[in-house]
Amino acid sequence: MSSKKDIHVVKHADGWATKKEGSTRAGSVHGTQKEAQEKARGQAIREKVEVVIHGRDGKIRNSNSYGNDPYPPKDMK
């Protein structure tokens, strides 16, 4: 079982939040989605996990991997 906890950027009542997978509480709250993404990126690089970015509707918009991706893009091999 993997202990990998991806970091999600999600809409929050006070703006945008970073939230670790499986957590019920926000890790940090920011005024803009861009600020939340920057915070999540720094944390993901340190922890070698993925950042999952959600849109206002809650659907996943994008993701970026900062760990050891077992399935890297073909152009990155």
Read off the pLDDT of residues 65-74 as tens digits, 9 standing for 90 and up. 887 766 666 6
- What residues are paired with 19 via a beta bridge? 8
Band of pLDDT at residue 1, cut at 50, 70 and 90: very low
Model confidence at 4, pLDDT cuts 50, 70, 90, reads confident
Contacts of 31 (CB under 8 A, 6+ apart): 15, 16
pLDDT tens per residue across span 18-52: 999 999 999 999 999 999 999 999 999 999 999 99
How much is the pTM?
A: 0.83
Q: Does the pLDDT at position 58 exceed 80?
A: yes
Confirm if 54 and 18 have CB atoms less than 8 A apart. no
Q: Give me the pLDDT at residue 70, please.
A: 65
Tell me, what DSSP letter sits at residue 1? -
